[in-house]
Amino acid sequence: MQLPRTWTIRALAVGILVFAVGCAGAPSHDPLVLPLHSRGTPSPTYIRQLSCSVMDTTAIALAWLDDSPEGSRIWTCRVAYDPGHGFRASSLPTLVDKGVIQDVAVVSGDNAIGLLYTKNNQLLFSWPLSETPIPLTTRRIEGVISSTATIAPDGSLIAAALLVQMHGTERSTVELVAYRINDRVHAVPLARVQLAPTNTSQGPPLIRVVADGFEISQMITVGKTLRLWSGTDSLQSLIGNSGELLILRLRNDLTIQEVTRRPLPDDDDIAFAHCFALVDSAMTTIVAGKPRIKVIPLTTPGRPTRISSAVGTGSGFAIPSVQSLALSDTSALVAWVDTDRAFSGVSMVEGASDPTAKGGDIHARVVTRTGTVASDLVPGFPIATHAQCILLGTIQKQAFLVWAGPGETQLRIELLPTNANH
């Protein structure tokens, strides 16, 4: 099985961008608005995840995971792009699967769309969507905590997942596993990780295609790496037990070439973070937090800097709720969902619903690789909306923002004012 080359937004391999002040020199188009579900199906109650893949220079593939009265559902949609006209819908949302589903990542190319997702605690890969999904894990033996995927330059699928063995080990001990899928499935265990028994929920890893292989980064909150499956038991000791960012440089055969471990600071918001974004390619600074979004320098002294409101992302667990986009070698645009305005005029009485559950506005700041946050507002932000998930990406050097939430009952795609250079 040969998979066309593509790029997935979770890898954030977006090139070098320079954010233009104002909208001068950038195309001006109204946001594309798409329905979140097909006619005749129940409206979603919650949007849990968004994923995007650039199919070619003229289209992107979108996938989203929602909760509804029918259970969890995966939807996909193809969206065309033209520099003169912006985005336009190429297809209506298509229901791919429903049931007990978590974690979805879309891959695409050559006018075909594929998905990596977890259903009934089993990791599945479907390429193309018309084919029967291929199981990557064994039900009742391995449980899936989180996963993600991208496409390698040779057209094969590269995936990474955090798995827990359902028998014989403690549930707080999990394995980070990499997969390569072409005409067969090749699974390689990378690391054994210990999590706090009270914090076994972890966000998905990030995968980046690099010159001689791949880079997989996993934020481990309130836990630590116990062992690397690289022929050595020697591990760099870390101070504290607040967690770490584990960065693995892999060769094309998925063997470990280089290991970097960066300790996370002791911080309650970081301990409960369910996704993270990179500020620089060297991963010296990341952005994460739940509910408050914070800039986290990992190699220089200093405490995390809160950039969101005190309410932050609220009580939701949608992924991703924070994203980044490289503006230069030294800075990035960071965007996040902020639910502070949801409390405006709300009377908190017993039995009242949580106003943050319906999503929030989209805020953005420019952050440097040293963790400095620019004081100036980013043109076009904040966006007053009810977003639960957001995505940042580029096509033909043009940056775009995707967001969704049942408060809007729609999915929106908007171009951002940027000038791009490689």
339-395 pLDDT per residue, tens? 998 876 555 554 556 777 788 999 999 999 889 999 888 988 999 999 999 999 999
Q: What is the mean pLDDT of the chain?
A: 84
Q: What integer pLDDT is reported at residue 23 of this predicted model?
A: 39
Cα–Cα distance, 218 to 10 (Å, whole number): 12
Residue corresponding to tokens 């009952």: 409
* pLDDT exceeds cutoff 60 at 7: no
Q: What integer pLDDT is reported at residue 237 of this predicted model?
A: 64
pLDDT, tens only, 282-335:
888 999 999 999 999 998 777 899 999 999 998 888 899 999 998 888 889 999
Residue corresponding to tokens 């050559």: 110
- The CATH class for the domain spanning 7-343+351-421 reads mainly beta
Share of the chain above pLDDT 90, in %: 52
Q: What integer pLDDT is reported at residue 382 of this predicted model?
A: 94
Q: What integer pLDDT is reported at residue 387 of this predicted model?
A: 92
Please list the helix, strand and coil fractions of the chain in percent, rounded to the nearest 5, in that order.
5, 50, 45
**Confidence grade of residue 422 (pLDDT, cut at 50, 70, 90):** very low
Q: What integer pLDDT is reported at residue 323 of this predicted model?
A: 95
Q: What integer pLDDT is reported at residue 346 of this predicted model?
A: 56
* pLDDT exceeds cutoff 70 at 19: no
Q: What integer pLDDT is reported at residue 349 of this predicted model?
A: 52
In degrees to the nearest 10, what's the CA dihedral of 70, 71, 74, 77? 30
* pLDDT exceeds cutoff 90 at 212: no
Cα–Cα distance, 230 to 254 (Å, whole number): 10
pLDDT, tens only, 238-278:
666 688 999 999 999 999 999 999 999 999 999 989 899 99
Contact yes or no for 405/389 (Cβ under 8 A): yes
* pLDDT exceeds cutoff 60 at 55: yes
Could you please report the per-residue DSSP string of 60-83? EEEEEEEEETTEEEEEEEEEEEET
User: Rounded mean pLDDT of 106-115?
Assistant: 86
Q: What integer pLDDT is reported at residue 167 of this predicted model?
A: 60
Range name among 20-24, 28-32, 383-387, 406-410 with the lowest pLDDT average: 20-24
**Confidence grade of residue 24 (pLDDT, cut at 50, 70, 90):** very low
260, 262, 263: which is closest to 241 by C-alpha? 263
Cα–Cα distance, 362 to 410 (Å, whole number): 15
Q: What integer pLDDT is reported at residue 290 of this predicted model?
A: 92
pLDDT, tens only, 129-165:
888 999 999 987 888 999 999 988 888 899 999 998 7
Q: Which residues pair with 108 in a beta bridge?
A: 113
12, 104, 109: which is closest to 63 by C-alpha? 104
Q: What integer pLDDT is reported at residue 3 of this predicted model?
A: 45
Q: What integer pLDDT is reported at residue 28 of this predicted model?
A: 60
Q: Which are the contacts of 284, defined by CB distance < 8 A and separation ≥ 6?
A: 262, 297, 298, 299, 300, 369, 370
Q: What integer pLDDT is reported at residue 84 of this predicted model?
A: 87
Q: What integer pLDDT is reported at residue 166 of this predicted model?
A: 65
Contact yes or no for 238/257 (Cβ under 8 A): no
